[in-house]
Amino acid sequence: MAPSPVAGYHAGRSVGIRVPRRPGTSISTMATGTRTTCPTPTTNGRCVRGVPEHSGPPFDFGSVHRAWLDCRRGKGNSPSRWRFEADLERNLIRLVDELQSRRYQPSPSVCFATDQPKRREIFAAAFRDRVVHHLLVRQLEPYWERRFIHDSYACRRGKGTLAAVNRVQQFIRQATGNGSARAWFLHLDIRSFFVNIDKAVLLAILESGLERQRHPWANDLQWLSRCIVSRDPCLDAHRIGAELNAVPAHKSLYGTGNVRGLPIGNYSSQFFANVYLDRLDQFVKHDLRHKYYLRYVDDLVLLDRDPERLLERENAIATFLQRELRLALNPGARVLAPTSNGIDILGYMIHREHRLLRRRTVRRFEQRLRKSGALMVKPQGDRMVVRYPPQDVERLLAMCMSYRGLLHKGNSFHLMCRFSSVPTFIQKESTG
């Protein structure tokens, strides 16, 4: 009898499994969410700090189970998650069978629009497809993490918004000699980046990466990459909300003919974005040899003491994007100015010695507070009636804590004093 694909696993509890130990690795012997990691890079270059290394088949039950553990983090009470986990073991086994037999096809997505910070389409994949996205990224990530430059941010461990803001501020200090010289910055943005990603170019980059690392399961991963990238999310998506009609045509995947564009909202799309622009990063750092360069998704920041050199870099980057990646810069978002003016990026106005929350972010917070107040405080005759529905209070508290975190990371003492009493007051009233 053939061994069961779930040998060593049982629904609802962790079961000890035997894992071969390798030099330089830390091994967990339980089928839990703990990742097998390499604390330091090994001599053969296969391990990266904090990045799991799996030598087994990419589509076995253990790999799919680990991907499910990654995927469920932070999903809370997502209906899609609960539907999948209602019959978890059967759904995982079915997913393993579809991947191993190459019968897997992504399910229809839910398409809706958001206007924060800009109006754009969001495609929410089914939970089973999110598991597959995590599965693929786990297999591809170790190689690309070794290749990415240090100053490529977003969708990487330890490379979030705050890390990018700190790095920009460090660049300002270094470029200006800690205030002893004048420096300039160039802020560039790629026009409609996710919508204009060329799928053929992306697949060629992914396949060449698998060939260079001589991955033992390269054929399987190439097939799954093509399956996810080539999928047209507009084909049978469930469109929700009339706001979709207000999305500008140049920011919509509808009409691209499935030749260009990745759906915003997919975990794999964020990873593929870094892979796609890695060529640009390598070009700027190694060909142009520009020292102060940082990229956060499609936002590029370059600093130099000579503004003419920054103009040369801009022309070289624009030419490279058009020739190699079939992208273009957004001229309306281009900024060339002294660093003493402050760099407006990632929600902050960043200066050499301090950073302030962007005014647009503060105004948005005030608008949302007023909107929440209008829902909770309503006139009734000659008096005001205050209502505290638990779900509205919970949502408002989460929003206030989010903005408070932004304020805490900037030099915003007066704004902190102005807004800090809002969640405390609501909490006292709602629990009284």
User: For 365-386, what is each residue's pLDDT tens digit?
Assistant: 777 777 777 777 777 777 766 6
User: Model confidence over 125-174: pLDDT tens digits?
Assistant: 999 999 999 999 999 999 999 999 999 999 898 999 899 999 999 999 99
Pick 7 or 164 by higher pLDDT: 164
Q: What is the pLDDT of residue 40?
A: 37
Pick 56 or 345 by higher pLDDT: 345
Q: What is the pLDDT of residue 50?
A: 39
User: Model confidence over 84-121: pLDDT tens digits?
Assistant: 999 999 999 999 999 999 999 999 999 988 887 778 88
User: Model confidence over 226-236: pLDDT tens digits?
Assistant: 999 999 888 88
Other beta carbons less than 10 A from residue 378's beta carbon: 11
pLDDT band per the 50, 70, 90 thresholds, residue 395: confident
Q: Is the pLDDT of residue 205 over 50?
A: yes
Q: Which amino acid is at 119?
A: R
Q: What is the pLDDT of residue 213?
A: 83
Half-sphere exposure of residue 229: CA atoms within 13 angstroms, side-chain side: 28
Of 195, 171, 271, the residue nearest 228 (C-alpha): 271
In this prediction, residues 45-69 reach a mean pLDDT of 69
In which order are the strands placed within the sheet that holds 355-357?
343-345, 348-350, 355-357
Cα 408 to Cα 163, 350, 355, 356, 420, distances in angstroms: 14, 14, 11, 10, 11
In this prediction, residues 299-316 reach a mean pLDDT of 96
pLDDT band per the 50, 70, 90 thresholds, residue 419: low
Cα 143 to Cα 94, 138, 213, 214, 275, distances in angstroms: 29, 10, 7, 10, 11
- Could you write out the three-class secondary structure of 181-193? CCCEEEEEEECCC
Report the alpha-carbon distance of residue 329 to residue 74 in Å, rounded: 34
Average pLDDT, the chain: 81
Q: What is the pLDDT of residue 396?
A: 76
In this prediction, residues 188-195 reach a mean pLDDT of 94
Type and span of the H or E element at 292: strand 292-296
Give 377-401 as a DSSP string. EEEETTEEEE---HHHHHHHHHHHH
Q: What is the pLDDT of residue 35?
A: 40
In this prediction, residues 187-204 reach a mean pLDDT of 94
Mean pLDDT: which of 36-50, 55-69, 198-212 is highest?
Answer: 198-212
User: Model confidence over 249-306: pLDDT tens digits?
Assistant: 888 888 888 899 999 989 999 999 999 999 999 999 999 999 999 999 999 999 999 9
Contact status, residue 253 vs residue 234, Cβ threshold 8 Å? yes
Q: What is the pTM of this model?
A: 0.78
Other beta carbons less than 10 A from residue 261's beta carbon: 26
- Token code pair at residue 244: 């979709």
Contact status, residue 136 vs residue 71, Cβ threshold 8 Å? no
Q: Is the pLDDT of residue 45 over 50?
A: no
User: Model confidence over 324-359: pLDDT tens digits?
Assistant: 999 999 999 999 999 999 999 988 889 999 888 877
Burial class (CB in 10 A: 0-12, 13-18, 19+), 131: buried
